[in-house]
Amino acid sequence: MKNVAILVQNLHNGGAERMAANLSIELSKNYKVYLFVFDASNAIYPYGGKLIDLKVPPLDKASASKRLSNVITRVRRLSYLKNKYHIDCTISHMDGANVVNILSRRNDKVICVYHSMPSMCEDDGLKTHALQRFIGAGADKYICVSKMAEADMAENYGVNAHKLGCIYNFADLGRIAALKKIAMPADAEEFYKRHEKIIITAGRLTHMKAQDRLIRLTGEIRGGGKNVGLVILGEGDERPLLEELAEELRIKEHVYMPGEVEDPFSYMEAASVFALTSDYEGLPMVLIEAAACALPVVSVDIPSGPREILSPGSDIHKLLKDRAEYAQYGVLVPSCADDERRGALSNNEKLMKEALMSLMYDTEVRKKYTDCSLSCAERFSSDKINRQWMDLIGI
């Protein structure tokens, strides 16, 4: 049995970290898995294999010399662990872990995973281009989680196409089916009971996730006489701004933000519609998980991820401009990334509002997307995706 290591920053911060934890569970069925984490404190995601905390948390606000020392410490500790546990293959997630994985190489196969859309990142510049070329050159295989991101890496970052590959994120449908039946906390139950319909979203509270748009949309829908509540799952630096906006729009009691939750599925199961408003993504796992909860989905048609999930077979390079698309597995609306995020709704935000209203209140449309949601999720089942990982690792 091969020894496989998975390297990730933490086990509580977002979709990439959750995907790494899920991968550890799946791979532990066929390999001896070691989950190496730079900082395992506050871990909330279930995992498989042996968890090893490197205890080297990030020092983002420290001086350059201290950050360099932090990286060196990570490399030394990981190199030691790779040797100690005779690691055959190490799979790392996100840039920081990918660099450390490459620099700590022993006799292991180095696989790096990129979870976003490189050219859409806010810090896309010379350093980012150099970093991606370094990772592409140093890794044995550089995996992107969407076909669009894979093409972007080759065309715009100069990464050798032979090094690149695409493996979608997956959902453990059996586990989700069990967990979505678990009761929510009492305050969440009370919030759901107070509202006729619930819009839900999930992700880190950051500027690029644009949860403020959903707060504004909820205010607009409520202003039209609809008793709608908004649930935002996740934590991050934008929380104070989101809370301030909800209070400014006088809907604070109608916006529920419980922070990071170990099990988002019971919240999704009880909601009316899932909405994704991000400026960019890699492959948004939350769309797959929402589908697994038979929850109708509306998403912005951003350059990576949503179209591949909701409209398979369509041209991933042709994105919407001024209309909504009622696609095979959900509703796509044009990106709102360039729109103002205060004041009156933009035309694209109005399209999202109309889609949300349709999925909540149009019985026929709602039934169509509820009925097909599980079929959507099954395309990303853990069994199907795990087979691709096993082929890459080598049995």
Average pLDDT, the chain: 93
pLDDT-wise least confident of 12-26, 102-116, 289-303: 12-26
The confidence score (pLDDT) of residue 74 equals 97
Specify the pLDDT at position 64. 86
What integer pLDDT is reported at residue 53 of this predicted model? 97
pLDDT digits (tens, 9 = 90+) for 79-109: 999 999 999 999 999 999 999 999 999 999 9
Answer yes or no: is pLDDT of 319 > 70.
Answer: yes
pLDDT digits (tens, 9 = 90+) for 70-81: 999 999 999 999
Q: What H or E segment, with its residue span, contains residue 299? A: strand 297-301
pLDDT at res. 121: 67
* DSSP notation for 194-257: T-SEEEEEES--SGGG-HHHHHHHHHHHHHTT--EEEEEE---TTHHHHHHHHHHTT-GGGEEE
Higher pLDDT, 64 or 298: 298
Q: Alpha-carbon distance 381 to 373, whole Å?
A: 13
Nearest to 164 by CA among 118, 104, 222: 118
CATH number of 3-170+381-393: 3.40.50.2000
pLDDT at 123 over 80: no
Mean pLDDT value across residues 168-180: 91
The CA distance from 121 to 301, in Å, is: 16
With 0-12 / 13-18 / 19 or more C-beta atoms within 10 angstroms meaning exposed / middle / buried, residue 21 is buried
d(CA 324, CA 353): 11
pLDDT band at 304 (very low <50, low <70, confident <90, very high): confident
Confidence of residue 60 (pLDDT cuts 50, 70, 90): confident
Of 40, 50, 49, which Cα lies nearest the Cα of 17?
40
Q: What are phi and psi of 41, to 5 degrees?
A: -65, 150
The pLDDT-based confidence of 124 (bands split at 50, 70, 90) is low
Distance CA 191, CA 232 (A): 12
**Confidence band, pLDDT 50/70/90 cuts, at residue 350:** very high
Residue 122 has pLDDT above 60, yes or no: no
Q: Where are the domains of the chain?
A: 3-170+381-393, 174-378
Based on the number of CB atoms within 10 Å of its own CB, is 65 exposed (0-12), middle (13-18) or buried (19 or more)?
exposed
Closest CA to 170 of 359, 21, 337: 21
Q: Answer yes or no: is pLDDT of 59 > 90.
A: no
The SS3 assignment for 8 reads strand
Q: What number is the average pLDDT over the span 334-345? A: 85
pLDDT by residue (tens digit) across 242-287? 999 999 999 999 999 999 887 899 999 999 999 999 988 878 889 9
From residue 348, how far is each of 126, 307, 320, 345 by CA, in Å?
32, 17, 10, 8
Q: Indicate the class that CATH gives domain 174-378.
A: alpha beta
Average pLDDT of span 342-361: 94
Give the pLDDT of residue 395: 64
Gyration radius (Cα) of the chain, Å: 21
Percent of the chain scored above 70 by pLDDT? 99
Backbone angles phi, psi at 197, to 5 degrees: -130, 150
CA distance 120 to 146: 14
